[in-house]
Structure 1
Amino acid sequence: MKLHTELSYDAPPADVFAMLSDPAFREKVAEAQHAVSHQVTTDVAGAGLTVRVETEQNTSGLPSIAKKFVGETTTAILTETWKDGSGGDVEITAPGKPTRITGTVALREAGGGTVQTVDLDAKVKVPLIGGKLEQLLVDSLEQAYAKEHEVGVEWLAGRR
């Protein structure tokens, strides 16, 4: 199942990339998303960047069909591998679960600001209910990116 989202920021791409590169920003996003626990690592190499965010999320708000599948909490590992400040690859895995999300992230200048575009493909390999779980996963990702955007707008406005 596909996810496409565009997040607009009133800052140039270099500032948005710097924000996305900052472990403190990623930690603030995890806290805003009510992660039970989180661990953030970033590795800058030349113009590129690798970000790894491991979060444990409470599943209390999920429908029972999903909760039976994932348990009381679930771990997700987000890895973004940026070739430079314009974009890169995204992978989200859930250890021990037949779930895989892959795609891309890109930044582009737009009217003096920046648009961050995220395109993901979510796969849940579970017979009969995989499609329903994929929809729940995409919905959850949309909410997560909306919260990241909310934190990002505040961050770029200097409210950290």
Structure 2
Amino acid sequence: MSRRIEFTANYTRPAAEIHRTLTDEGFWRNRVEQGADKGLTLARLTAGEGTIDVALAQDIDKAALPGVVSKILKGELSITRGEVWGPLTDGKAEGTFSTTATGIPINASGTATLVDTAEGSTLTVEGDVEVSVRLIGGTIEGLVTEQILGILAKDQEVVEEWITANS
């Protein structure tokens, strides 16, 4: 069984500015630098003309996890979050996201679409979270879904801050 993720971010800036940020190596390297004290590292980064394939990895302290998760954790927990963005064409860009973990069988994946709107642009993310743990997988899926939605909301803030600081 899996749990659905749906998230929408509305920006006051056009899709071209948001896309330029999301495909900027400097943006992602800055994200890693800002999160280095929390163990964030760059696992992969391949950028092309208006495209990117990036993954960030982070080791999670077992003591910071909810009890239901730490009890079933096998070894250390490391989360890797990836994004792939294609080019912006006619005010629209498409991408994918993925999240995997070591220590617990967590997989999340889906699609992202960035489009121009009359007010600026909208980023829509849709996907699924699956935790393959008998009996309590659904509970953990709920926790992971909440975390992913929180990260997506934070991402919106970080993108806007980056554009303001670098325009």
TM over 0.5: yes
What aligned pairs does 1:1-160 form with structure 2 within 5 A after superposition? 1-30=3-32, 31=34, 35-39=38-42, 41-70=44-73, 74-85=77-88, 86-158=93-165
Most deviating of 147-156 and 79-88: 79-88
RMSD: 2.6
Are the counterparts in 1 of residues 25 and 47 from structure 2 also a CA contact under 8 Å? no
Shift of residue 27 of structure 1? Answer: 4.1
Find the aligned partners of 1:104 and 1:147 in 2 and give their Cα distance.
18
Are the counterparts in 1 of residues 52 and 84 from structure 2 also a CA contact under 8 Å? yes
Same amino acid, percent of matched pairs: 24
Following TM superposition, the consecutive aligned residue runs of length 4 or more in structure 1 with deviations greater than 6 angstroms are: none
Are the counterparts in 1 of residues 74 and 104 from structure 2 also a CA contact under 8 Å? no
SS of match in other structure, 1:84: coil
Structure 1 residues 145, 32: closer, same or farther in 2, change over 3 A?
Answer: farther
Gapped runs of 5+ residues in structure 1? none
Gapped runs of 5+ residues in structure 2? none
Are the counterparts in 1 of residues 81 and 100 from structure 2 also a CA contact under 8 Å? yes
Structure 1 residues 47, 101: closer, same or farther in 2, change over 3 A?
Answer: same
Shift of residue 97 of structure 1? Answer: 2.6
TM-score by length of 1: 0.84
Find the aligned partners of 2:11 and 2:43 in 1 and give their Cα distance.
23
Find the aligned partners of 2:36 and 2:152 in 1 and give their Cα distance.
9
